[in-house]
Structure 1
Amino acid sequence: MVRRVRRLLVAVAGTVMATVCALALAGPSAAHAAAPKPAVAGVDITGDQLDEPLRLRADTHPAEVTTVIDQVDWLGRTGQPRGPQAADLGPKYTVVVLAGDVPKNTYDLYPLAKGGPRIYRPAKQPDRSKTLAGWFFGRLNMSETLRAAGVPLERQFDTISGGVGGGQRVIPGDSLAPGQDLDATMNELQRLLLLNAGVMVVITVGLAGIALLVRRRTR
C-alpha cells in the first residue's frame, strides 16, 4: 500500500513539474510570437543646410537606413511634455520613415541641443496612427549617425583613435539607449504574473489530488 502511494506521489509530482516547465517555455514563445514590424523601405531627411531631402533606401543604403532608424525606434509611448528652449535646440532635422513608398512616421531630431541630443515626436503622424506628442533624450551618437548619412554636420570627436581606419567608441553602443518601452515592460510583467498564477493553480490542484488519493488509500 505504501509503495503504491509513493509511486502515485512520484507520478503526480512528475506531471506537475512537466506542466510547470511547459508553461514557463510557452510564456517566452508567446511573447516572441508577436506580429513582426513592417519592413522599413527607407528614410527621408530634411533640415538645416540641406537644399534637397536626403532620400536613403534600404536596398541602396542599408547601413545608413539601419543606423538612422536606430535613433528613433526605441521611443516609448509617452515622453516629456516640454522640451528645451528654442535657442538651446540647435539645428533641426526631420526624419520621415517609409514603409514601402508610403510615409509612416516622422520625428524631429536635434543632434546639437544643449544637454544632449533631443527628439520630438509629433502627435500627427503620416500614417494617421494615434500617438502622444513628446520630447525624448536622443542617443549620444545622433550627430555622427546623421553625418554618416549625409547631413552636413561637423564631426563630433566621440571616438578614440585606434590607428588608420580604426577606432573604438568611448561609450558602447548597447549603453546608448536611454529608455525602454513602458508598455512592453508592463506587458512582460503581466505575462509573468499570469504565468506564476497558472503554476500555483497547477500545484494546488496536484496537491489536492494527492491528498484525496492518500485519504482514500488509508481508509
Structure 2
Amino acid sequence: MVRRVRRLLAAVAGTLIATAAALALAGPAAARPAAVKAERPAAGVDITGDQLDQPLRLRANTHPAEVNAVLDQVSWLGRAGQQRGPQAADLGPKYTVVVLIGDRPTKTYDLYPLAKGGPRVYRPAKQPDRSKPLAGWFFGRLTMSETLRSTGVPLERQFDTLSGGIGGGDRVLPEESLDPAPDIDEAMSELQRLLLLNVGVMVTITVGLAGIALLVRRRTR
C-alpha cells in the first residue's frame, strides 16, 4: 500500500514539475504581443499648406520617388514626442501631409520645413484612421525643405541641406533613439508579466503538493 502511494506521489509530482517547466518556458513567448499585421503600402500622399491653392495629390503609381521621399520624412517617428513645440512665430510655413492607403486617408502630419532651429514635425492625436497615437513634436530631417520642394511645394532651394552639403543629409541619430523611456517601459512590463507567471506556477505547485500530502495522509491511515 505504501509503495503504491509513493509511486502515485512520484507520478503526480513529476507531472506538476513538467507542467510548471512548460509554463515557465512558454511564458516569455506568451507575454509578447502578437505580431502586428503588415499594413498595405501607401497608395499616395496629399499635401496642403502655405501658398498652395490646391492640394498636391501624389500617387505611388505615377510619382513613386516623390511619395517615398515624403513618407521617409514621417515614417521613423517614435511613439512619444515632445509635448511642447516652438513658438508659433518660429515655426514658419506649415504643410499638412495626409497618407492614403488605397483611396482612404489613414495618417496625417504637420511639417514645418523652415522652423527656427531646424525642421519640425507635429503628429496630432486625432488621425483619419481613428487611431490614437500620442500627440507630439519631433525634430524633422534636414532634407525636409528640399523634399517638399521637389514635390511641387513653393519653397526656395536650400543648398545647405542637400545630402553631402554643408549641413549634411539626414539626421544621424533619430530622436527616438535618444529617448529610452519607451524601451524601459516595455522591459518593466515584460518583467512584471514574467513575475506574475512565476508566482502562478509556484501557487500551482504548492496547491498540488498540498493535495498530494492530504491524499497520502488519508491513504496511510
Contact 1:120 1:133 (C-alpha < 8 Å) held by counterparts: no
- Aligned equivalent of 2:174: 176
Contact 2:47 2:55 (C-alpha < 8 Å) held by counterparts: yes
Match of 1:104 among 94, 103, 106: 106
Q: Distance in 1 between matches of 2:134 and 2:29?
A: 37
Rate the CA distance shift 1:157–1:123 in 2: closer, same or farther, 3 A.
closer
- Aligned equivalent of 2:206: 207
Q: Quote the offset at 1:41 in angstroms.
A: 1.5
Matched ranges for 1:1-219 at <5 A: 4=7, 9-28=13-32, 30-32=33-35, 34=36, 36-37=38-39, 39-48=41-50, 53-73=55-75, 74=77, 76=79, 80=83, 82-121=84-123, 127=128, 129=130, 135-143=136-144, 144-147=146-149, 149=151, 151=153, 152=155, 153-157=157-161, 159-160=163-164, 171-172=171-172, 175-178=173-176, 190=189, 193-213=192-212, 216-217=215-216
Q: Quote the offset at 1:205 in angstroms.
A: 0.7
Q: Quote the offset at 1:104 in angstroms.
A: 3.5
Rate the CA distance shift 1:79–1:51 in 2: closer, same or farther, 3 A.
same
Contact 1:147 1:155 (C-alpha < 8 Å) held by counterparts: no
What secondary structure sits across from 1:31 in the alignment? coil
Contact 1:147 1:154 (C-alpha < 8 Å) held by counterparts: no
Q: Distance in 1 between matches of 2:183 and 2:42?
A: 21
Percent identity between the aligned chains?
42
> Which amino acid counterpart does residue 119 of structure 2 have in structure 1?
P
What secondary structure sits across from 2:176 in the alignment? coil
Q: How many residues align?
A: 206
Q: What CA RMSD, in Å, does the superposition of the two structures yield over aligned residues? A: 4.3
Gap runs ≥5 in structure 1? 162-167
Gap runs ≥5 in structure 2? none
What secondary structure sits across from 1:178 in the alignment? helix
Larger Rg: 2
When the two structures are superposed, what TM-score results if normalisation uses the length of structure 1?
Answer: 0.65
Q: Quote the offset at 1:118 in angstroms.
A: 1.7
> Which amino acid counterpart does residue 212 of structure 2 have in structure 1?
L
150-159 vs 88-97, which moves further = 150-159
Contact 1:71 1:138 (C-alpha < 8 Å) held by counterparts: no
Rate the CA distance shift 1:54–1:170 in 2: closer, same or farther, 3 A.
closer
> Which amino acid counterpart does residue 25 of structure 1 have in structure 2?
A
> Which amino acid counterpart does residue 206 of structure 1 have in structure 2?
I
Q: Distance in 2 between matches of 1:137 and 1:209?
A: 54
Q: Quote the offset at 1:79 in angstroms.
A: 5.5
Q: Distance in 1 between matches of 2:79 and 2:121?
A: 12
> Which amino acid counterpart does residue 146 of structure 1 have in structure 2?
L
Rate the CA distance shift 1:207–1:145 in 2: closer, same or farther, 3 A.
farther
Q: Distance in 1 between matches of 2:200 and 2:19?
A: 13
Contact 2:120 2:139 (C-alpha < 8 Å) held by counterparts: yes
1:58-94 Cα deviation digits (max 9, x unpaired): 33444543442343353647852x5323332123222
When the two structures are superposed, what TM-score results if normalisation uses the length of structure 2?
Answer: 0.64
> Which amino acid counterpart does residue 206 of structure 2 have in structure 1?
L
Q: Quote the offset at 1:110 in angstroms.
A: 0.7
